[in-house]
Amino acid sequence: MKPNEERDKLLNSLNIIWMEEIEKMVIKPKLPKDVKGMIILGIIPNFPIDPISWTKYMLSDYDNPARQESIKKAAEYIMEIATLMREGKWEPEHHVPPTIEWMFGEKFKYLTGHMTKKGAYAADKKDLWIVVVDFVDEDGFDANYWREIWASNENIGNNSYVKLERTPEDVVIQVVEMVEKHIIKIDDDVKGKKPTVSRTLDDMQLTDQPKAEILAKIMIKLGYKHLAVEPKTAEEVQKEVIRYQMKYPNHYFAGASYSAKSQEKRDLEVARKFREKFNSDPYTYNADTCIGLVGVAGKGCQKIKEVRTHKELAQGLPGIVNDREEWRKTDDLEKATGMKFGWKSKNIKQILEDPDMIDLNE
């Protein structure tokens, strides 16, 4: 018997509603949407979850790779689900159901829905509404990768009022394990057509700032501290400005946080601060005493050295050379005093190898 025939015979014996039938329904049940690598086969409305049936059909007990920390705090959510089920208020068609995947023979792998299953047990339910899915290769990456991504993303866009959100710690643990299981690779320097850690975080739908913070933690845990970057927001850069100002009172500091190497608005903000000081006292505040502190955040964390190199080389006034009216007084003062307006760019600590503070006396 071909594998699909064996699988389909089993699913029919469990009274599956095939996806072809679901598509014809006027009011469709809630299902996972637009999940890469996933094919939804159908719904089993009454999948048996009594201990004997569960042992018969499930490959092993459920271990969600994407909720290893947050699952420890799931008790209150599980009891809420159980209460709703006992009171007949849990309508499974309105929630994204637990998902299972056929493996071989009569065995399935339970993928998502830990709380729903536990809640059903607590409510003394004998069966559960479950979606049967299959995972395949997509975008050049294998099914194992997309299975992990689904485990992480299952609640994104799910408006259910009882759901367990993943935490940053959950993401760190899962991605580290994905590297250790050789599902993904550290970065593009590692050979092989596997997703990088950075690409994995993108597929987990993390935005730039949390991605940068989580990426740094992952690299440190994996022993790649030289690739770990601690992102610095605009507020954190200003804290560094104050710290440096207190240590070096004979200099004047300003700073900005960059998410790309060329951001004229950020350069202009810094330049205006220095311009104000130069125009007030060009002998005290000039190119020799003004220091621009550079921090990176967001996407900049993934190319921090490129951003830093650009700032170190761009000692002119990028983005403001065409805005001469505002700078006429500055020009006149440069000519009258012989002092040069400008600043030196210095990097604040963001990489392990960086000094805690730059020594301006060296």
Average pLDDT, the chain: 87
Q: How far apart are CA 17 and CA 131, in angstroms?
A: 9
239 and 328 housed in the same domain: yes
Q: How far apart are CA 103 and CA 338, in angstroms?
A: 79
Q: What percentage of the chain reaches a pLDDT higher than 70?
A: 92
Structure tokens, 184: 């993904």
320 and 284 housed in the same domain: yes
pLDDT at 98 > cutoff 60: yes
Residue 162 lies in a domain: no
Run of H or E including 111: strand 107-112
70 and 43 housed in the same domain: yes
pLDDT at 101 > cutoff 70: yes
Residue 57 lies in a domain: yes
Q: How far apart are CA 43 and CA 197, in angstroms?
A: 33
pLDDT at 318 > cutoff 50: no
Q: How far apart are CA 224 and CA 175, in angstroms?
A: 14
What strands lie across the sheet with 344-347, from one edge to the other? 252-258, 290-296, 344-347
Taking alpha carbons only, the member of 121, 114, 81 closest to residue 98 is 114
pLDDT for position 40: 96
28 and 113 housed in the same domain: yes
| pLDDT tens sequence across 208-264 | 778 878 988 898 899 887 777 888 889 999 999 999 999 999 999 999 998 877 787
335 and 244 housed in the same domain: yes
In sequence order, the 6+-apart residues with CB closer than 8 A to the CB of 223 are none
Residue 216 lies in a domain: yes
256 and 204 housed in the same domain: no
Give the domain-ending residue among 206, 228, 250.
228
The confidence band for 317, taking pLDDT boundaries of 50, 70 and 90, is: low
45 and 104 housed in the same domain: yes
Burial of 283 (0-12, 13-18, 19+ CB in 10 A): exposed
Q: How far apart are CA 338 and CA 336, in angstroms?
A: 6
State which residues form the domain around 294.
Answer: 234-347
Residues 24-28 have a mean pLDDT of: 91
Identify how many contiguous H helices and E strands the chain contains and give both numbers: 13, 8
CB neighbours of residue 281 within 10 Å: 13
Residue 201 lies in a domain: yes
Residue 254, strand partner residues: 292
Number of domains in the chain: 3
| pLDDT tens sequence across 118-177 | 899 999 999 999 999 999 999 999 999 999 999 999 887 665 655 677 889 999 999 999
Structure tokens, 120: 């059903």
Give the domain-ending residue among 199, 228, 257.
228
Q: Are 18 and 39 in contact (CB under 8 A)?
A: no
Residue 152 lies in a domain: no
Q: How far apart are CA 199 and CA 218, in angstroms?
A: 13
Amino acid letter, 255: G
17 and 138 housed in the same domain: yes
Q: Are 187 and 199 in contact (CB under 8 A)?
A: no
Q: How far apart are CA 140 and CA 127, in angstroms?
A: 37
pLDDT for position 67: 76
Phi, psi of 111 (to 5 degrees): -105, -50
Residue 150 lies in a domain: no
| pLDDT tens sequence across 281-294 | 999 999 999 999 99
294 and 245 housed in the same domain: yes
Give the domain-ending residue among 212, 228, 244.
228
> Given CA atoms 85, 90, 95, 101 in this order, what sign does their dihedral have?
positive
pLDDT at 116 > cutoff 50: yes
pLDDT at 325 > cutoff 80: no
Q: How far apart are CA 182 and CA 276, in angstroms?
A: 55
Phi, psi of 294 (to 5 degrees): -110, 125
> Given CA atoms 221, 226, 232, 238 in this order, what sign does their dihedral have?
positive
102 and 173 housed in the same domain: no
Residue 220 lies in a domain: yes
Residue 261 lies in a domain: yes
196 and 75 housed in the same domain: no
123 and 176 housed in the same domain: no
In sequence order, the 6+-apart residues with CB closer than 8 A to the CB of 21 are 42
8-state DSSP, 119: H
Residues 270-280 have a mean pLDDT of: 91
